[in-house]
Amino acid sequence: MNDVAKIRVDGLRKEFGEVRALDDVSFEVSGQEFVSIVGPSGCGKSTLLNVLSGVEPATAGTIRITEGERRARLGYVFQSARLLPWRTVRDNLLFVQETRDAAVRERCERYLDMVGLAHTAEQFPGQLSGGMQQRVGIARAFSIEPDLLLMDEPFSHLDAITGRGLRRELHELWTRTRKTVLFVTHDVSEAVELSTRILMFAKGGRLVSDQRVDLPFPRDGSSDEVALARADLLRRFESLDLLAT
């Protein structure tokens, strides 16, 4: 497939004054991977996304995110939906598009439909529940047809049942589109359920483990295989002493 983003991160370091948020991080991601980034709070997970997206400059190291010859287009899903409350759901999707021609409009409607919210297009975000708002946020990120999707704990603010439903939806979207995804989470079960690969960070922003998850999809978050894989991962991670700096 041509629709493949490649990320190459080499010797990446990020410091905020004296505090080291990312320490000599190197990894590569090839297309169609769903990569989760896990680790304890303050290990630099969100910083990594901010640096990758260019919102924060890196202190040292190189980042290359390319799609063939051109720069890759990035889509984002944040912890909270971050919708413009004064624009309708449809206009929130249109806001992030480069053009507004018929094809783009049709695409926005299609992604709204994929998250089951086509009927809310005329509504304002304030009229939707938190879970629905987050689905609009996901539709928005997919609707620009990004080469790479960056997701920063998108389900952490939702209740367990809503979160479960959305994980399933995200997985379906990913199966249909096979976008490259970098997914930050502190929830190892979530990572096991969704990812093809898990990067583990430790305090001080060190990348300490890079694991493939070789379970067949679809994965049931409450199944024994996922529980076993999760327990196995947690044991490995514990042996890595993540909290030591």
Partner 1 sequence: MSDSRLARAGWRIAGYAFFLGLWQLASGTVLDDVLLPPPAAIAGEIAGIAASGELPLHFFTTVSTIAVGFAIAYVLGAAIGLLMGRSRWWEAFLGDGVMAALTTPGLVFALVTAMIFGLGNLGPVVAVIVTSFSYVTVNVVEGVRAAPSDLVHMSRAFGRTRTQLLRHVYLPFLAPYLFTAARYGFSVAWKIATLSEVIVGTAGIGFMMRRSFQEFNMTGFLAWVLIFFAFALFLERVVLQRWMRRTLAWRPEVAA
> Which run of H or E residues covers position 170?
helix 160-177
CA gap 5, 19 in Å, rounded: 31
240 binds partner 1 (CB under 8 A): no
124 binds partner 1 (CB under 8 A): yes
Neighbours of 41 (CB within 10 A): 8
Closer residue to partner 1, CB minimum distance, 100 or 212: 100
Count, residues near partner 1 per rule CB under 8 A: 18
CA gap 86, 187 in Å, rounded: 33
Closer residue to partner 1, CB minimum distance, 52 or 115: 52
Closer residue to partner 1, CB minimum distance, 96 or 231: 96
Specify whether the CB–CB gap between 5 and 147 falls below 8 A.
yes
Neighbours of 1 (CB within 10 A): 6
Closer residue to partner 1, CB minimum distance, 75 or 204: 75
Considering the complex, what minimum distance in angstroms separates the CB of residue 12 from partner 1? Answer: 19
171 binds partner 1 (CB under 8 A): no
Q: Which stretch binds partner 1 (CB under 8 A): 75-83, 163-171, 172-180, 228-236?
A: 75-83
Specify whether the CB–CB gap between 126 and 120 falls below 8 A.
no
Specify whether the CB–CB gap between 35 and 181 falls below 8 A.
yes
Q: What tokens does 19 get?
A: 């505090």
| Contact with partner 1 (CB under 8 A) among 144, 173, 200, 207 | 144
Q: What tokens does 219 get?
A: 């994965």
Q: Which stretch binds partner 1 (CB under 8 A): 74-82, 167-175, 181-189, 198-206?
A: 74-82
Q: Which residues bind to partner 1, rule: CB under 8 A? A: 53, 55, 74-76, 78, 80, 82, 84-87, 95-96, 124, 126-127, 144
